[in-house]
Amino acid sequence: MITRRQFSLGAAGLAGLSALALPGRSLAARNDQLNILCWEGYNSDDVLNPFRERHSGATVRAESGTSDPEMINRLRAGGLGQWDLINVNQAWARGVMFKEQLIKPLNKERFLPYFEKMSPEFANPPYAMAFSPDGTDLMGMPQRYGAFNFVVNTDKISLDMAEDQGWNLFLDEGLKGRYGVLTYDNWNVMHLCMTAGFDPFQPVSEENVGKYTEVAKQIMGNARLMTDDLVAMNTALINGEVDCYFTGGVFSCSGARYDGMTNIRGITPRSGPVDGKGGIVWVEITSAVNNPDPSSLAEDFLEYVQEPEIAKLVASGGGTLNPITQMGNPEVMALFDEDQLDAMQVDTLAEELARCIEFEEVPSYDQLLAIYVEARRG
């Protein structure tokens, strides 16, 4: 007969043994887990639930970050073993994560065919920034993208004038106290370079540092408001607190446009200092994290988001609407209604892309960021 004391001892022993067995079990269970670190959109239930249904035994979790570097910090701070996929912009994917082996190459045989159905800018040849600098490894899959420069209320500043003036618009003393700055610091730095008249993606000369400092002080000093919250910024624009904002584009204003405020518009300058171009385009790259204990679901999910219905959900998820590379496929285009396409400024998309250069690593970033931070502090 077992006494209560013996039973308790046995139960405690079993509990101890099962605790010891946990690590082994969790290793074996990695293929039943998928953890995604992403910009908002991929983490919506609309996108995730059909995948969860297909893999009913798996735990699929997605968490959105507030900026590219914030998400990369999570990998650096011991998150390599926790995450399976990460979704950041092209410069951070190639310039930082691939270089530091935070991400690993994808299976080219499995994913290269998807490039054929993408928009021409990404299909022929397959989008170069999705590959390692030497062009051999496929670092990730491009999906959402958009020109990101500045945003105006076209009732106050005409589209033609904004495109024509470009970055000089913000140097006009008449605009003092009538514009905002969306403080996405790294973008602000690149846009200040453009405004100062030089290429942010080339090492900066002493002369240009001087111009940049002057421009940074003027633009930060004359701004009516600065915020990193795009909803607060759009609200200020709609209510007439400001007429335009420095740093922004379809990503930041499409939500307001879809709500009927089509007078709010992302602008790409007609001209600029880099071979006549003054705009910059971001392209999100979704990559497999270099997890020492990888989940096979990571590549399955990347393949899943290429499907037309799911790609459309990604484009319209998370309160913003953004063009996607899969729009080269007529089947995908047919899924969007007119209002959604208008919110994404699809009418001028190709034209705006032609006026943009790629978002790359900024070689003098540390120096320029320090000047920017000081100017912002006033």
Partner 1 sequence: MERLERRMGLLAALPIGLLLMVSFIMPMVVIAGFAIMPQKVFELAHMPDFSSFAVIWEQGYYKSLLRSLGLAFLTTAILFVVCWPLAYGMAKVFGRFTLVITVLVVLLLFVSENIRLFGWNLTLMKGGLIEGHLRAWTGLSFETPLYTWPAIVFGMCYVYFPFMLFPLAQGIALVPDDARLAAMDMGAGPWRILFEIEMPLAAPGIVVGCLLTFVLSAGAVAEAKLLGGRSVVVLTDDVESAFTYAQNWPLGSALSLMLIVIVALIALVPISRIDLDAIMGRRK
Query: Which residues bind to partner 1, rule: CB under 8 A?
Result: 66-67, 69-70, 72-73, 76, 96, 180, 183-186, 224-229, 231-232, 235-236, 239-241, 366, 369-370, 373-374, 376-378
Structure tokens at 58: 């798996």
Q: 29 vs 373, which CB is nearer to partner 1?
A: 373
13 Cβ contact list (under 8 Å, min separation 6): none
Q: 291 vs 306, which CB is nearer to partner 1?
A: 291
Q: What would you measure as the largest C-alpha separation in the chain, in angstroms?
A: 93
* Smallest gap from residue 105 Cβ to partner 1 (A): 23
**H-helix segments, the chain:** 4-28, 45-54, 68-74, 90-92, 108-115, 120-123, 159-165, 185-196, 206-222, 230-238, 250-258, 297-304, 308-315, 330-333, 338-343, 349-354, 365-377
Q: 18 vs 66, which CB is nearer to partner 1?
A: 66
Backbone angles phi, psi at 198, to 5 degrees: -140, 165
* Smallest gap from residue 237 Cβ to partner 1 (A): 11
Q: Which of 150, 237, 152, 243 is nearest to 194 (CA)?
A: 150
CB 156 within 8 A of CB 335: no
* Smallest gap from residue 362 Cβ to partner 1 (A): 11
**Secondary structure letter of residue 97 according to DSSP:** I
* Smallest gap from residue 77 Cβ to partner 1 (A): 8
* Smallest gap from residue 226 Cβ to partner 1 (A): 4
The Cα–Cα gap between 73 and 77 comes to 6
* Smallest gap from residue 177 Cβ to partner 1 (A): 10
Residues paired with 141 in a beta bridge: 286
In this structure, what is the dihedral angle of CA atoms 182, 183, 185, 190, given to the nearest 10 degrees? 30
Structure tokens at 292: 């020492």
Q: Does residue 289 sit in helix, strand or coil?
A: strand
The gap between the terminal CA atoms of the chain, to the nearest Å, is 81
* Smallest gap from residue 56 Cβ to partner 1 (A): 34
Q: 94 vs 355, which CB is nearer to partner 1?
A: 94
* Smallest gap from residue 86 Cβ to partner 1 (A): 15
Q: 331 vs 374, which CB is nearer to partner 1?
A: 374
Q: 241 vs 342, which CB is nearer to partner 1?
A: 241
Q: 65 vs 140, which CB is nearer to partner 1?
A: 65
* Smallest gap from residue 64 Cβ to partner 1 (A): 14
Percent of the chain that is helix, strand, coil (3-state, to 5): 50, 20, 30
Counting every residue written for the chain, the total comes to: 378
Q: 71 vs 302, which CB is nearer to partner 1?
A: 71
Q: 14 vs 231, which CB is nearer to partner 1?
A: 231
* Smallest gap from residue 301 Cβ to partner 1 (A): 26
The Cα–Cα gap between 148 and 69 comes to 18
Q: Which of 135, 145, 86, 141 is nearest to 112 (CA)?
A: 141
Q: 44 vs 67, which CB is nearer to partner 1?
A: 67
